[in-house]
Each structure stands twice: as structure tokens, then as C-alpha cells.
Amino acid sequence: MPEYTVNYELKVYDDRNNVRMAIVDELSKEIPGKGKRELASRYTYYVETLQNGKRIYLRRPANLHNGFDFRVCVEDINFNPDGKKRNYPKHDEIIEDLKNKKAENQKLYNDLYKIIEKTYLCKKIVFKEINISFRSGYSVELIVKILKWLFIEQDIRYWNYSGREMLWEKINGI
């Protein structure tokens, strides 16, 4: 089966169910595969472009669960520098990055937290207006945009339990 590429812009904000359903609606347009391995249909959804030009994309299938799950990836970034190259972050790596930022500068971290909270609440963030940076870890823009899509992914995968709340609780525990 061929690989499909989609440029997707999320235009729905302010309601987590509407955000979830906009993504599910987009994913429901996929052409079905015809079997496993090379017979499966595969999709790459380019969803964000960072100010440095790198793109965040969703990769389907994620090979983690069934249904509408996806993996959140970033072009040309290795989230596992000490092992096999991996272009997608794990939740614990994002949490560790946030802990390091908090240890570096509590005041800036508090400002970052407010932006993450807006993202959690499905508010649109304008990054050109944000002037927060840390010496440690990934850029604020990268962290916030990754969290946006991880929150959406969690809502799609775990809606009937708590969705994005599980990841949010980890962030609040920092």
C-alpha cells in the first residue's frame, strides 16, 4: 500500500470534544489497508511548523493500540540521544524536560505553565507573542506544540476514562 501525506491545520479550539471530533473526522477519511506490514495503509499528517522550520507530524498507525491512535513526531529531532534514534517523545521525557526548566528558573516556568494550561484548555496560542526561553532542554514552542497533540491523542485514546487529564496530572505534579 502506498504512504499518504496530509497537511492538516486544526481550526477548532475552545472545546476539547470538538477538537477530538475534528481529528477523528479527518482520520476517518483514510483509505483502508489490505493487510499487515506492506499491505497496511500508512499516513503522515503534518500538523505544525515550528519557527525553525521543522515540522510536527502525526504518524499512523502508531502500532501501539487500535483505532484512531497516532504517534506525535518531530522532523530531525532525536528524543533518545543515548540509544536507537527516535523522533517521537515519551511523556516522561517531556515531564523531565519541564522539571529541568522549573529547576532552572521558577518564574519563567510559571509563565510556561500558564501557556501549557491554555493549551490543555484548548486555547489557541500565538507563539510570536511569547518571549520565554530556557538554557535547558527543548524550546518552549516545541514543548507546548507537542503537548497540544499529546493532549489530543490522549483524548482520542482514553476519552471514556480521563483523556488529557492523565498527562495534565503529571504536569501538575512537577
Q: Quick one: which of 166, 165, 144, 148 has its CA closest to 58?
A: 148
Q: Tell me the per-residue pLDDT of 101-128, one tens digit each, with 9 for 90 and over.
A: 999 999 999 999 999 999 999 999 988 8
Total structural domains in the chain?
A: 1
- Neighbour count for residue 2 (Cβ, 10 Å): 7
b/e string for 105-129 if b means 16 or more Cβ within 10 A? beebbeebbebbeebbebeeeeeee
Q: Tell me the per-residue pLDDT of 115-167, one tens digit each, with 9 for 90 and over.
A: 999 999 999 998 887 889 999 999 999 999 999 999 999 999 888 888 899 99
N-term to C-term CA, the chain: 44
Average pLDDT of the chain is 92
Residue 77, pLDDT above cutoff 80 = yes
Greatest pairwise CA separation for the chain in angstroms? 53
Which pLDDT score, from 0 to 100, does residue 150 have? 96
What domain range is 85 assigned to? 3-172
